[in-house]
Amino acid sequence: MSAATPMVLYVSGPITGVPNNQLNFDAAVVCLTKRGHKPVSPKDIPACADLSCEDGPHNPRYPNGHTWNCLLRHDLVVLLQCDGVATLPGWQQSRGAVLEVTTALSVGLPIQHLTTQDFAHYRQEIQGVAPQY
C-alpha cells in the first residue's frame, strides 16, 4: 500500500461499550501490519502478574479481574516505547484512548487515525470463514 516508514504503533480505541471491540483491534492490527508497521494491541499487553491490583476499585466490565488503573499503567509503559499511536474510530469517546492520545502527543509521538473503511475488509475476513490462500 503506502511506502510509509515502518513504525511500532500502539493501537488506541474504545473498548468499553463497543460490541465486538476485539474484532476492531484485530482488524486494525492486520491493516497496520499490511502497511508495513508493527502494531501493538493493548489487548495483548499483560497487566500485573500477580493480580496485586485486586485491592483497587474493580470494574466488573473487565472480566480478567484487573482494575482499570492497573491496565492503564501497564499500557502506558508500552505506549511510551512505541513510535506512534494509531487510533480506532470512536477513540474520542473513550476515556482511556483520549488519555493515551494526549500522552502520546505530550511526548511528541505522531498519531495516525484509522477510519472504518481502513479495516472493514479485514474485519469481514476475520469474522468470516478463514480464507484459503
Q: Interface with Zn ion by CB under 5 A: which residues?
A: 47-48, 53, 66, 70
Cβ neighbours of residue 109 closer than 8 Å, sequence gap 6 or more: 82, 83, 84, 85
Cell of 27: 482488524
Cell of 130: 478463514
Q: What minimum distance in Å lies between the beta carbon of 51 and Zn ion? A: 6
Q: What minimum distance in Å lies between the beta carbon of 16 and Zn ion? A: 17
Which is closer to Zn ion, CB of 27 or CB of 71?
A: 71
Which is closer to Zn ion, CB of 27 or CB of 47?
A: 47
Q: What minimum distance in Å lies between the beta carbon of 64 and Zn ion? A: 8
Q: Find the helix or strand (DSSP H, E) in which 11 lies.
A: strand 8-12
Which is closer to Zn ion, CB of 75 or CB of 100?
A: 75
